[in-house]
Structures are given as C-alpha cells and as structure tokens.
Amino acid sequence: MKNENMKKNNKGFSLVELIVVIAIMAVLMVVLAPAMLRYVEKTRVQKDDSAVSEVTHAVELALAQEDIYTEAGGNTVTLTVNDSSNSGTIAATTSNPKLLQDVKNTVGDTIVPVSKARKNKTYTVTATYSDTRQAYTVTGSWN
C-alpha cells in the first residue's frame, strides 16, 4: 500500500526544479559564450596567418628557380596581399612577372582574410637579397 501511494505522488519534475535547471543553463551560457567567441576569432586569425604564410613559402619556392632568381637580379622583391576592398588580391610591386605568376600558380590569385583583426589590412612579403649570403631572405608582415 505504501508503494502505491509513492507511485501516485511521483508525477515528474516540479516547476521550481525546472526553473533552477534553466537558471543554471543561462549562467553557463553567459560564462561560456564570450570564451567561445574569442576562440572562434583566434581560429580565424590563425587561418588568415596560415593562408598568407603560404604566399611567403611560395615566394621562397619561386626564388629557388634559377630563371626567377636571375630575373630578380639581387633586388628587393615585394609582394602584397591587399584587402582594402575585401578582394585579397595578390600583387607585385616589382617588375618580376615570372615571380608573380609562379606565386599565383601556387596559391591562387586571391587570399581573402576572414578574421576581424585582418580585415582591411595588407600582408607584405619582402625578399631581400643579401650579398654576403648571396641569397634572398624572405619575410612577411601585416600592415
């Protein structure tokens, strides 16, 4: 008889229990949402940096080819990835069409940044010739 009474009184969760669970979930969302947004933005910045580092490596590979290296002729070679119009166009500020074409063949014509930190920024790859090493040093930076 006691078991029958317990079964009749056990009808599910009370309203107070449901409100407490919803309140706990709301607090967790308030705490976790900003961390999640920071994580997503950090991931986007890493994706942008990875994409433009491919341009840097493509310049290094292009300069390893004798005809492009010879045409560069010991000058400073600069390539830019310009995002002023969200087009991400790769352009050369040097008269070295072979280098530019080889880089575009490797990474494509455009790289469009996806992070807020890299929007409307320019990535510049500079290959500087060193007489002592008789080779190019390739560096890249965001402006």
Q: Cβ contacts of residue 54 below 8 Å, gap of 6+?
A: 106, 107, 111
Structural domain count of the chain: 1
Would you call 143 helix, strand, or coil by DSSP? coil
Within-domain flag for 1: no
Within-domain flag for 104: yes
Within-domain flag for 61: yes
Single pTM value for the model: 0.69
What is the band of 7 on the pLDDT scale with cuts at 50, 70, 90? low
The percentage of the chain sitting over the pLDDT mark of 90, rounded to a whole number, equals: 20
The percentage of the chain sitting over the pLDDT mark of 70, rounded to a whole number, equals: 85
> What is the chain's alpha carbon radius of gyration, rounded to the nearest angstrom?
28
Within-domain flag for 118: yes
Within-domain flag for 4: no
Average pLDDT over residues 78-107: 74
What is the band of 40 on the pLDDT scale with cuts at 50, 70, 90? very high
Within-domain flag for 3: no
Per-residue pLDDT, 105: 83
**Structural domain harbouring 69:** 14-142
Q: Cα–Cα distance between 111 and 79 in angstroms, integer?
A: 13
